[in-house]
Amino acid sequence: MSRDIVITCALTGGADTTKLNPAVPVTPADIAREALEAAGAGAAIVHIHVRDPATGGPSMKRELYAEVVSRIREKNEDVLINLTTGAGARFDPGDPDPSVPAETTNFHPPETRVAHVEVLRPDICSLDIGTMNFGSTVFVNTGAHIERMAGRIRAAGVKPELEVFDLGHLRQAAHLIEQGLFERPPLLQLCMGIPWGAPSTVDAMQTMVRHLPADAVWSAFGISQHQRTMAATAILLGGNIRVGLEDNLYLEKGVLAPGNAALVEQAVSVVNALGHRVASPARAREIFHLGAKAAEAAA
C-alpha cells in the first residue's frame, strides 16, 4: 500500500570530506543554507553536525549549533531539526603506549556530548548505540555513557534517534528499550556500510529489520554508491530513508553532488517511483511520534 515516507537529509557530517567535494558545507551559514535547500527539495528532517569554520574539521561548539539552528528557524519553522550527539566518541590509541590517546582522539564525557541538545532542544537528536572499530579509530559508546546521555536527552524533552551500525548494536538497543530507558515507540536509524559495521546489502538490512522491536519506527541509509540502493530497500521493507552529503558525495559515478538538495531530489524520485508519497514535516512529526515541538513541550 502507498504510504508517506520521511526523508532525512544529513547535511555535512564530521569526516574529512570537505577536500573531496567543495559542496560539503562548513560554516554555520553554509550548513543552514543547505538545510533550507534540502527542505525545499523534500526533506522533512535535517540532521546537523557542525564544523570549525577555519579548518573544516569537526566541532562540538554550542555556539555553532546555535547559529545553524537560528538561521534555519529564521526562514523555516516547519522542517524538523535533528542534532548529532556522535561527536566526542572517537578514541585513537597512541603509539607506542595505546593507553595514552593519540592527538587525533576526540573523546569527551557524555554530558559534553549532549550539552548543545539540552540548550537548543531540537525535535530529534541522534544517540549512537554500541562501540565499534570506525575506520582507523574506535567509536566508543559504553552502556553507562549511553544511559547518562539518554537521561539528559529525555529530561530535555527531545526524541532520541537510536543509531545502530550492526546487529549487536540492535540487540543492545532492544535491551535498553525493554529496560524503559526510552519512551515507546522507539525511533531507530539503521546505518549500513560503515567500516566496520553491517554491510550495505539487502540481506544485511533484512536481517536488521527482522530484529527491530515490534513497535519501532525506523529509517535507514547506506553510504557512498549504495545510498540509493539502501534507500529503495528501506522503503520496500517498511522504513524511512536518509540521504545527504554526510553519507555520499556523488550523484552518480564520477559526478559530484552539487549540494544536498540534489541528493534529496534523487530520494524523492525513488519514493515516487516505488508508488509512495514524500512526508511533509507535519506528517513526519506524526510518523515519528514527536508530539509537540520539544521547545514548546519544555516551556
* pLDDT tens, residue by residue, 189-241: 999 999 889 999 999 999 999 999 999 999 999 999 999 999 999 999 999 99
User: What is the rounded average pLDDT of the residues 102-117?
Assistant: 92
Task: Output the average pLDDT for the chain.
Answer: 94
CA 145 – CA 89 distance, rounded (Å): 10
pTM score, whole prediction: 0.94
Reference 13, options 199, 288, 283, 263; nearest CA is 263
pLDDT band at 292 (very low <50, low <70, confident <90, very high): low
Q: Which of 43, 34, 118 is nearest to 72 (CA)?
A: 34
pLDDT at 27 over 60: yes
DSSP 107-137: E--HHHHTHHHHHH--SEEEEE-S-EEETTE
Helices 143-155 & 167-178, crossing angle to 10 degrees?
Answer: 50
Give me the helices (H) in the chain, please: 28-41, 62-75, 110-113, 115-120, 143-155, 167-178, 202-210, 227-236, 260-273, 281-287, 294-298
Domains of the chain with bracketed CATH: 4-298 (3.20.20.70)
